[in-house]
């Protein structure tokens, strides 16, 4: 009686322990899923406004800006007054007067980092610098705004005022381009020629390049690109006008004002001070090469809009050019390699953003990423991101923005409108680069000839454009898994079939030996694959090509010897050890293949198998490639598939096998037609477990593939898998940053994929078990 109570208590306790263990397992899995999802969820959130402030200004505003922490703003009025305003209290902290003539006003402003270039109504160019420094008194921090005049430059022989200005400069060189109210374009350059003893003479150039903007009939072919080195007798021609243009449109060689009727509406110059872009009222974009300041030349003219080009601006890095037009359109263009172009490059539209309902008048780019802000005449302001092609935020002001500023940390937008209001929006925009398209689709990145799937999370410069497509990583995961299973599944299943059905009982110690292989750390396998197997396969690759043929031939030869030599038919051997007889034949075949590999390469592969693969098959051979990973990862997966499959086959009822043999079936027929179908649920489970092992494998893939995130089914190139990418990138990913959360998204994909595959596999296994249990 006491024993019965003890058993009941033990059974009850065991039942509750099992239930609690199962519930705890489910809870841990759900908790893990929730944790990963919460790390990924911010990627789905768009930009939001956290705070909005309004301040009063005292006249037409030409430029605004603020310090890094959005504490102090400057306002530049058209009369040359610079006013600094506290964004906490709205009080005026300081005023500064730029020394412009009293009878003129500022008509145009261009920002070049801390430098402001001002164009005036009387044709003068002023340059000032606005900086913010900090001082500390105990725990109190004070922001000190400062303005410094650098220089002013008059325009030579120009009677009109300045309508637009663009300028870039560094320590030794400054290049400025202006277009005037009488429709002239002037290039101004100042350069200090450095010598071995230090700074040398200062060289200044002013050149009217209006002739490069001559109108051309749309029925005429494009103007040929004439580099100054190709021109002769330049003194006899109009400055900056290609020879073919003068010959066709102006036989006299004298450029008249009527011939340069193109109306320039906007200008911008890149930070390299080499490429000047000019938009026109007819929707054309002129690209002028100004690297040779004395002889600039027209590179190309592109029709970018059906309406006037009203605003131009470069994104961070000055590779992508944002074009705004009078119809409200916002497009991003960049130079792309083009074999059809005589220069090898052509300007192409790569991104299209949401349109405004009115002409775009202002563009300001982020100093941190490929984001930018646009403003239109109807008072709408859009926060855009070029790479993801999304408009993240749409704001509205009561009047047209006369100027705007995107804060240095890309967390605020400031505008001054026509009603003398200064508006500031504090925004949060943590992950503008991520959309379904950027994560899984083709994106046209800077420097690429077409949209592509690319993973490249870091670069060598601050203006790097993150490329976070998970598609190459998913592709690499699938590629590595397929090649591993191609090797592991047949070997594991057939080895299990032979061990369970044909191998002599005295030799079944092989099974625990193979099971011990599963305990080998994957880092050891990856180390051996990357540092020993990969170089070895590279060295004997021609032998590997012919090795299957010689192995097959050796097996045929072994079978022939087994059948024909009388000594093997007298029963001295034990049934089930025939495979041992194959070993010396296979070893001999491998040895012969290695010895003949060099001759085979010389005879049939033109002496260099890499060149032969590249020339005849178009395949590249990398030392660390998918074949190496397939072998190494297959070696790791084989023990799992073998062990589970062998158990499933060994548990097939003997009655079924005996019945098959009694009906006249051979042992091989019984194994294939009775044992395999009956054990198929277990074999299927073995393959699915092997699949999960291959999908989640990290160290072998990390050490043996080269980690190149490319999309190529070539067996001889590497790849990068999701798991290996997480291991490589997560130590360097800033906590909470876009890369950090995208890596968690990769782990979520692995988690969900494994869960779905295992669920489907279990469902299929149960159906197969139900079907074959009736046998």
Sequential DSSP letters for 159-215: -S-EEEEEEEE-SSEEEEEEEETTS-EEEEEEEEEEETTEEEEEEEEEEE-GGGG--
For every residue of 69-135, DSSP letters joined together read TS-EEEEEETTSEEEEEETTT--EEEEEE----TT--EEEEEEETTEEEEEETTSEEEEEEEEEEEE
Cβ atoms of 203 and 190 within 8 Å: the answer is yes
Residues 108, 119: contact at Cβ < 8 Å?
Answer: yes
How far apart CA 362 and CA 374 sit, in angstroms, is 6
Q: Max Cα separation, the chain? A: 126
Secondary structure (H, E, C), 326-372? CCCCEEEEEEEECCCCCCCEEEEEEEEECCCCCCEEEEEECCCCCEE
Low-confidence ranges of the chain (pLDDT < 50): 216-260, 568, 570
Closest C-alpha to 702, from 509, 476, 489, 497: 476
C-beta atoms surrounding 284 within 10 Å:
20
Distance CA 620, CA 710 (A): 12
- Phi then psi for residue 94, to 5 deg, are -165, 150
Residue with tokens 């589970």: 644
Contact 286, 269 (CB under 8 A): no
- Cβ atoms within 10 Å of 759's Cβ, excluding its own: 10
Supply the DSSP symbol for 260: -
What's the order of all strands across the beta sheet hosting 360-365?
360-365, 371-376, 380-385, 390-396
Distance CA 442, CA 746 (A): 18
> What is the H or E stretch that residue 247 is in?
helix 243-249
DSSP of 444-463, one letter per residue? --TT-SS-B--EE---SSTT
pLDDT at 217: 37
Verdict on whether the full-model pTM lies above 0.75:
yes
Distance, first Cα to last Cα, the chain: 42
CA distance 438 to 186: 41
Angle at 616 between CA 611 and CA 617, to 5 degrees: 100
| pLDDT given for residue 478 in this prediction | 94
pLDDT value of residue 273: 92
- pLDDT given at position 1: 58
Cα three-residue angle 491-493-496, rounded to 5 degrees = 100
Q: Exposed, middle or buried, 169 (CB in 10 Å: 0-12/13-18/19+)?
A: buried
Which class for 34: exposed (0-12), middle (13-18), buried (19 or more C-beta within 10 A)? exposed
* Distance, C-alpha 311 to centroid of its chain: 28
Residue 467 CA to its chain's centroid (Å): 1
Query: Alpha helix (H) ranges present in 675-737?
Result: 676-678, 680-696, 699-704, 722-729
Alpha helices in 258-322 (DSSP H): none
| Segments in 574-652 forming alpha helices (H) | 578-604, 609-612, 626-650
């Amino acid at each position: 009686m006491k024993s019965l109570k003890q058993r009941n208590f033990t059974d009850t306790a065991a039942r509750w322990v099992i239930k609690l263990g199962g519930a705890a397992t489910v809870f841990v899995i759900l908790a893990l899923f929730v944790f990963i999802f919460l790390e990924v969820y911010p990627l789905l959130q768009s930009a939001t406004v956290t705070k909005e402030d309004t301040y009063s200004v005292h006249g037409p505003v030409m430029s605004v800006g603020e310090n890094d922490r959005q504490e102090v703003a400057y306002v530049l009025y058209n009369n040359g007054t610079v006013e600094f305003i506290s964004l906490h209290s709205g009080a005026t902290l300081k005023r500064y007067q730029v020394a412009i003539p009293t009878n003129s006003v500022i008509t145009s402003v261009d920002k070049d980092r801390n430098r402001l270039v001002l164009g005036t109504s009387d044709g003068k160019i002023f340059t000032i610098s606005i900086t913010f420094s900090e001082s500390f008194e105990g725990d109190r921090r004070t922001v000190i705004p400062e303005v410094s005049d650098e220089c002013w430059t008059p325009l030579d022989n120009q009677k009109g005022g300045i309508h637009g200005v663009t300028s870039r400069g560094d320590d030794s060189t400054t290049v400025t381009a202006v277009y005037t109210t009488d429709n002239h374009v002037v290039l101004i350059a100042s350069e200090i020629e450095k010598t071995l003893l230090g700074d040398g003479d200062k060289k200044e150039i002013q050149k009217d390049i209006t002739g490069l903007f001559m109108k051309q009939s749309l029925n005429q072919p494009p103007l040929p690109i004439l580099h100054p080195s190709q021109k002769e007798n330049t003194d006899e021609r109009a400055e900056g006008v290609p020879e073919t243009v003068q010959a066709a449109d102006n036989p006299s060689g004298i450029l008249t004002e009527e011939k340069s009727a193109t109306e320039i509406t906007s200008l911008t110059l890149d930070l390299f001070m080499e490429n000047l872009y000019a938009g026109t009222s007819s929707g054309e974009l002129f690209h002028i090469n100004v690297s040779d300041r004395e002889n600039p030349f027209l590179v190309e003219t592109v029709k970018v809009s059906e309406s006037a080009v009203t605003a131009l601006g470069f994104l961070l890095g000055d590779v992508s050019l944002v074009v705004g037009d009078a119809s409200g359109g916002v497009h991003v263009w960049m130079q792309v390699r083009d074999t059809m172009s005589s220069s090898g490059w052509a300007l192409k539209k790569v991104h299209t953003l949401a349109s405004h309902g009115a002409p775009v008048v202002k563009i300001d780019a982020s100093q941190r990423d490929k984001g930018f802000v646009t403003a239109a005449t109807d008072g709408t302001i859009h926060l855009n991101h070029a790479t993801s092609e999304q408009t993240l935020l749409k704001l509205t002001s009561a009047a047209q923005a006369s100027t705007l500023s995107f804060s240095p940390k890309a967390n605020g937008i400031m505008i001054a409108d026509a009603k003398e209001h200064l508006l500031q929006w504090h925004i949060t925009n943590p992950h503008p680069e991520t959309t379904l398209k950027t994560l899984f689709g083709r994106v046209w990145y800077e420097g690429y000839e077409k949209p592509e799937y690319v993973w490249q999370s870091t670069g060598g410069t601050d203006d790097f454009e993150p490329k976070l497509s998970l598609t190459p990583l998913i592709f690499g995961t699938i590629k590595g898994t397929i090649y591993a299973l191609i090797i592991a599944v047949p070997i594991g299943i057939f080895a299990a079939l032979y061990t369970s059905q044909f191998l002599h009982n005295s030799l079944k110690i092989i099974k625990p030996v193979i099971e011990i292989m599963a305990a080998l750390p994957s880092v050891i396998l990856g180390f051996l694959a990357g540092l020993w197997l990969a170089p070895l396969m590279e060295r004997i690759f021609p032998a590997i090509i012919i090795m299957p043929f010689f192995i097959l031939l050796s097996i045929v030869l072994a079978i022939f010897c087994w059948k024909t030599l009388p000594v093997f038919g007298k029963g001295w051997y034990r049934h089930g050890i025939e495979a041992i007889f194959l070993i010396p034949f296979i070893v001999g075949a491998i040895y012969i293949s290695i010895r003949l590999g060099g001759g085979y390469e010389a005879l049939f592969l033109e002496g260099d198998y890499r060149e032969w693969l590249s020339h005849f098959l178009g395949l590249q051979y990398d030392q660390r490639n998918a074949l190496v990973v397939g072998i190494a990862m297959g070696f790791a997966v084989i023990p799992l598939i073998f062990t589970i499959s062998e158990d499933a086959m060994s548990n097939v009822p003997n009655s079924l096998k005996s019945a098959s043999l009694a009906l006249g079936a051979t042992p091989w027929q019984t194994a294939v037609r009775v044992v395999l179908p009956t054990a198929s649920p277990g074999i299927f489970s073995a393959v699915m477990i092997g699949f999960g092992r291959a999908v989640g494998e990290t160290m072998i893939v990390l050490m043996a593939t080269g980690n190149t995130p490319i999309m190529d089914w070539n067996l001889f190139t590497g790849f990068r898998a999701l798991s290996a990418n997480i291991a490589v990138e997560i130590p360097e990913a800033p906590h909470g940053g876009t890369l950090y959360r995208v890596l968690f998204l990769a782990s979520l994909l692995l988690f969900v994929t494994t869960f779905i595959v295992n669920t489907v596999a279990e469902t299929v296994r149960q159906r197969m078990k139900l079907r074959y249990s009736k046998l």
